[in-house]
Structure 1
Amino acid sequence: MPSQHPDQIGYGHVVKSYVTRTYGGLPRYLVLNNGRFLSPRWWHTTRFTRHLIADATAITDEELEALLGYEWRSRLTAAWLIGVDRRERFRARIGDLLLASEVCHSGGAYCFALARFGTHMDAEILTAYLDRYLPRTDLHYDQPAALGALLRLDALLGTHHANRFTEPDGLWDEWVKGVGHLGYPSQTPAEQGRWADLQCEFANGWRRL
């Protein structure tokens, strides 16, 4: 589906209101993408998180759809807002976007949202993504984020979906070897699981602010 600027559907305000608002000179989408908010040393964390909680609660479904139909910055931000507020009615939409992988950078946010939803259905979406993209050793998309989210869900649900990907010389090991020529560092499943835990547990803390 081609992207559509929110202006074209009567939601021209959403990018400025939710995506490019700045914190410490950085737009929100960039702070979300680089994880700056997870550092206790970042002076703007409290303001950033309070505003994110407020916007995740206040944004309408129609505004979220306008963001999801646009480019990667808007999709990334929308997925984080959906995940923070746990709007599970967007599960299918998030899953479709993740599996399509039409744009860069936003896939990690989709994985965050699915990890926050925390159900067997979300684990199935992440498993389908890994089944499709781990064999693609020529591509570095969001395989690490998807595996981390799936490991978190396995731990929460008492399931073992990730096992067949992470077994020695399995799909994960083959993918890591395959993308080495692309210049990406080696990443272990445990590291990806810890990153998913960090994001989700931090979000759990946000809800108590």
Structure 2
Amino acid sequence: MSVQHPQEVGQGHVVARYVAGERRYLELLGGGFLHLGEEARDAFMGSLQADSLQASPQEIRALFGFEWRARLTAAWLVGVARRVEWRDRIGRLLLASELTYAGQGYCFALARFGSQDDAEILVSYLDHYLPRLECRYDQGSALGALMGLDAQLGTRHAERFLAPDGLWERWVDALPHTRGTATAWADSSREAIDAWCEPWGA
């Protein structure tokens, strides 16, 4: 998928409007906004929620076509408002894994959408990228999101990845400094995704 500056599609304002203001993309990265003081956090969340409803399809499309900061922000915007019409686009971007950090946002959005279709996207991603032991992309966020969806949907998609000596453990153990942390990493990934989703309600 090619990267296209929003100016090329007549949406040159979107980075300043949705991404850079309030240092938004930095606060979204890793759910950093959750660690702000109460007043600042509430203001940040209120602004994000308003924009998640107001951003036009053309603006969202321009953000998804640009670099990682824009894609991360776009994913949060559609995830907060549960704009499920963007599911297919997010699935394609996640599976392509072109840009660092943006995948966190894709996994958040899929967790927020909350359907079997979203779980299947995450399963496809993990089936593709966990066997590639050298690829350290968004496997943790994807597994955490899938675990959360399993809890919501009453499904057990994550079980086969988490089995002893399964794909997840082998991927984690491929690096000496993470060896032996598969269970803790999976649990912390689930907790992170849950924490990102919880403020926005059911």
TM-score by length of 2: 0.94
Q: Is the 8 A contact 1:75 1:106 kept in 2?
A: yes
Separation (CA, whole Å) in 1 of partners of 2:109 and 2:188: 19
- Residue identity over aligned pairs, in percent, reads 50
* Further displaced range: 105-114 or 42-51: 42-51
Task: Tell me which protein shows more helix as a share of its residues.
Answer: 2
Equivalent of 2:197 in 195, 200, 203: 200
Structure 1 residues 6-25: Cα deviation after superposition (integer angstroms, max 9, x where no partner): 00110000000000002xxx
Equivalence for 1:37: 33
| 1:71 Cα offset (Å) | 0.4
1:119 paired to 2:100: no
| 1:136 Cα offset (Å) | 1.1
1:15 paired to 2:31: no
1:181-200 to structure 2, matched below 5 A, reads 187-200=184-197
Equivalence for 1:67: 63
Q: Is the 8 A contact 1:3 1:70 kept in 2?
A: yes
Q: Is the 8 A contact 1:29 1:77 kept in 2?
A: yes
Equivalence for 2:94: 98
Structure 1 residues 110-146: Cα deviation after superposition (integer angstroms, max 9, x where no partner): 0000000000000000000000000111111000000
Q: Is the 8 A contact 2:112 2:197 kept in 1?
A: yes
1:130-209 to structure 2, matched below 5 A, reads 130-180=126-176, 187-204=184-201
Equivalent of 1:50 in 43, 46, 49: 46
Equivalence for 2:80: 84
TM-score by length of 1: 0.91
| 1:84 Cα offset (Å) | 0.2
| 1:203 Cα offset (Å) | 2.1
Instruction: Let me know the Cα RMSD of the aligned residues.
Output: 1.7
Q: Is the 8 A contact 1:139 1:179 kept in 2?
A: no
Name structure 1 gaps, 5 residues minimum: none
How many residues were matched structurally? 200
Q: Is the 8 A contact 1:119 1:157 kept in 2?
A: yes
| 1:197 Cα offset (Å) | 1.0
Structure 1 residues 26-56: Cα deviation after superposition (integer angstroms, max 9, x where no partner): x100110032211264652111011001100
Q: Is the 8 A contact 2:172 2:178 kept in 1?
A: no
Separation (CA, whole Å) in 2 of partners of 1:21 and 1:151: 33
Name structure 2 gaps, 5 residues minimum: none
